């Protein structure tokens, strides 16, 4: 059985959404930073079990300092949201509580995963300190550069969407 779901990558600018997108879809990482204009869409199939394949339509949305700045129409019909912040830049998670509440409000049915990216640039102690200070629970820490936890992130999102 083939099932299609829309997943959105969102968060502040420069947190590595497009890098996670490229790592997951194309298994690539580029050191160059190119800001996303509007939206970039691609798809990938995740195998859930022997009978079920999940076709993920992944929307990589241009970063905004606050989620209420993202055009509301981009969120229409979204099943999963991956909210990404940068473990090295506090300004990308200082507003996290308001952002998550906003997303829960506009998409109460959607599965939300909160991700701390760029873990290759910081120490384990730093990661623990950042996560423990967050007002929301961080689901996973990733590195788009090394690929650490990227596949696991999308696999766990896919499985959560099938429940």
Least Cβ distance, residue 4 to another protein (angstroms): 5
Task: Return the residue of 57, 106, 122, 160 that touches another protein, per CB under 8 A.
Answer: 57
Please report whether residue 74 would count as binding another protein according to CB under 8 A. Answer: yes
Please report whether residue 22 would count as binding another protein according to CB under 8 A. Answer: no
Please report whether residue 24 would count as binding another protein according to CB under 8 A. Answer: no
> Distance between CA 111 and CA 131 in Å, rounded?
20
Least Cβ distance, residue 77 to another protein (angstroms): 2
Of 12 and 78, which has the nearer Cβ to another protein? 78
Of 78 and 117, which has the nearer Cβ to another protein? 78
> Distance between CA 119 and CA 147 in Å, rounded?
10
Of 73 and 124, which has the nearer Cβ to another protein? 73
Report how far apart the first and last C-alpha atoms of the chain are (Å, whole number): 15
Of 72 and 125, which has the nearer Cβ to another protein? 72
Please report whether residue 4 would count as binding another protein according to CB under 8 A. Answer: yes
């Amino acid at each position: 059985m083939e099932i299609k779901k829309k997943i959105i990558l969102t968060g502040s600018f420069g947190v590595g959404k497009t890098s996670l997108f490229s790592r997951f879809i194309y298994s690539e990482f580029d050191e160059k930073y190119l800001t996303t204009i509007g939206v970039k869409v691609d798809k990938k199939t995740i195998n859930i079990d022997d009978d079920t394949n999940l076709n993920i339509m992944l929307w990589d949305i241009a970063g905004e300092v606050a989620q209420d700045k993202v055009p509301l129409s981009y969120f229409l019909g979204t099943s999963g949201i991956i909210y990404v912040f940068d473990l090295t830049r506090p300004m990308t998670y200082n507003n996290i509580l308001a952002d998550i509440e906003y997303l829960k409000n506009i998409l109460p049915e959607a599965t939300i995963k909160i991700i701390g990216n760029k873990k290759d640039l910081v120490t384990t102690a730093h990661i623990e300190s950042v996560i423990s200070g967050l007002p929301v629970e961080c689901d996973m820490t990733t590195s788009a550069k090394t690929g650490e936890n990227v596949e696991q992130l999308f696999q766990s999102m896919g499985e959560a969407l099938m429940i």
